[in-house]
Amino acid sequence: MEISRRDFVRSVTTAGAGIALANRVFAESVEPAQGVNAIDTLNVAVIGVGQQGRGALINSCLPIPGIRFKAVCDIWDRNRQVAVDYLKQYGHTPNAYVDYQDMLANEKDLDAVLVASPDWLHADHAIAAMDAGHHVYCEKEMSNSLEKAKAMVLASRRTGKLLQIGHQRRSNPRYIHAIQSLIHENHTLGKVTHANAWWNRSINAAKDIGCSYTDVMPAETLAKYGYASMEAFLNWRWYKKYGGGPIVDLGSHQIDIFEWVFETAPRSVIASGGVDYHTHHEWYDNVMCIYEYDTPHGVGRAFYETLTTSSHGGNSEVFMGENGTLLISEVAARGNAVEKEKHAPDWNILVKKGLLKGEGKSIVKSSTKNTVVDARESPGLPAWPLPIELAKLPHQPHLENFFDTVRGHGTLNCPGEVGYATAVAVLAVNEAVRTNKKIEFAPSDFEV
């Protein structure tokens, strides 16, 4: 069975069409912020200083020269205080705000705002910041509503302010090398026909977040800001009003890479999943889906899996072509090699060019805690390691790309148009699970 594009578009509240996705947006650049140049300090505020805002974004900004944190904003007292105390250890003296509108009204000298609030608020926070004259780095998913995601792109165009979406693999030098240099430029894998990716978590890792009784926000405060309970505030990713479940929270990063490798948006997706284990949650705790892509070499297919009952496999991406397979992950220890098929051309020339390290051997790892028996009929292929490692926190290069572009040096690696196209592909998965139907796309579905 198939669901029409019109039904899909209506069901996920997208609004329409306008701009081409893909490669041309990477060539877009903007003028540096008024008074900003290569050596100026940038004044930055953060909206949402929980696990992602503080633990990922602030931590990744601290090693970057020329970043001054002027303000933090969060409705939870505990988050605000922890963030302020933490930043003071590094010489920053940020003002603390409960309401983002108060922050934007009072902080007159900001250059950029980092948005790390729950998905359902991204559009409100990002658009208000751009309207106030600030460039915006917004965490993914861009929004849990395509209509709101589209409004973010339109606000960026209207105000002339940068909008970078936090698909940080787009700036990871290992991914840039592997995808642009090896796959696209040197055609190391030959025709890429299939892709697999997964992000699996154990039951313990997927359990609900809690807090002490003394840290619970008053019911009136929660209600004022749209939350039904403290549980909903802390575990918003599992609630349909606030987020999109694991396929959106985790899958967005890797489904975005499918489009980068195949150099096109998908033509269709089918999916299966359910609330099978964590039965008190609203969103599906396991999802498996298959995308189809029209490429110059024929149809490409990509399988994606996210589980919350087993951590087997961790998170990685695999791209399979006629000449070889690329296994890669954001954390290098989880996957950092290219496997060569026996019939493939000699790759020693790539070693001489520095694109690969010397021919390796199959890597066998053993663990006294978790023994895996390899019963394959054929041995593993030799692994050719990538010559590039990431010696920074995973989000740091993407933030550096954002700040460099604010200063007028370079272009965004994931502007709003690219983030929107990924949101279309990802949000469709939940709809495919709900309807148990195949969703088909047209190129215009991915345009703003």
- Tens-digit pLDDT profile for the chain (448 aa)? 445 444 544 444 333 333 233 333 333 334 444 444 445 899 999 999 999 999 999 999 999 999 999 999 999 999 999 999 999 999 999 999 999 999 999 999 999 999 999 999 999 999 999 999 999 999 999 999 999 999 999 999 999 999 999 999 999 999 999 999 999 999 999 999 999 999 999 999 999 999 999 999 999 999 999 999 999 999 999 999 999 999 999 999 999 999 999 999 999 999 999 999 999 999 999 999 999 999 998 999 999 999 999 999 889 999 999 999 999 998 765 456 788 877 788 888 888 888 888 755 444 444 444 444 444 454 555 678 889 888 899 999 999 999 999 999 999 999 999 999 999 999 999 999 999 999 999 999 999 9
Nearest-angstrom CA–CA distance, 389 and 335: 11
pLDDT of res. 336: 66
Domain ranges across the chain = 12-171+396-415, 173-385
Q: Render 232-254 in DSSP notation, one character per residue.
A: HHHTGGGSTTT---HHHHTHHHH
The secondary element (H helix, E strand) that includes residue 258 is helix 251-262
Contacts of 114 by beta carbon, 8 Å cutoff, 6+ apart: 44, 45, 46, 47, 53, 57, 61, 136, 137, 138
Nearest-angstrom CA–CA distance, 53 and 117: 8
Hey, what are 236's tokens?
A: 């918003």
- Domain 173-385 carries which CATH code? 3.30.360.10
Phi, psi of 192 (to 5 degrees): -85, 115
**Same fold for the domain at 12-171+396-415 and the one at 173-385?**
no
CA atoms within 13 A on the CB side of 295: 22
Q: Tell me if residue 416 falls in helix, strand or coil.
A: helix
**Where on the phi/psi map is residue 305: left (φ > 0), alpha (ψ -120 to 50), or beta?**
beta
End-to-end CA distance of the chain: 28
Nearest-angstrom CA–CA distance, 91 and 69: 9
Nearest-angstrom CA–CA distance, 360 and 381: 9
Distances from the Cα of 405 to the Cα of 237, 258, 284, angstroms: 30, 25, 38
Nearest-angstrom CA–CA distance, 297 and 309: 37
Nearest-angstrom CA–CA distance, 310 and 203: 7
pLDDT of res. 342: 76
Angle, helices 122-131 vs 146-159, to 10°: value is 10
Nearest-angstrom CA–CA distance, 406 and 161: 9
The runs of H, that is alpha helices, within 292-356 are 348-352
Antiparallel, parallel or unpaired: β 438-440 and 2-3 = parallel
Reported pTM:
0.86
Name which CATH class applies to 12-171+396-415: alpha beta
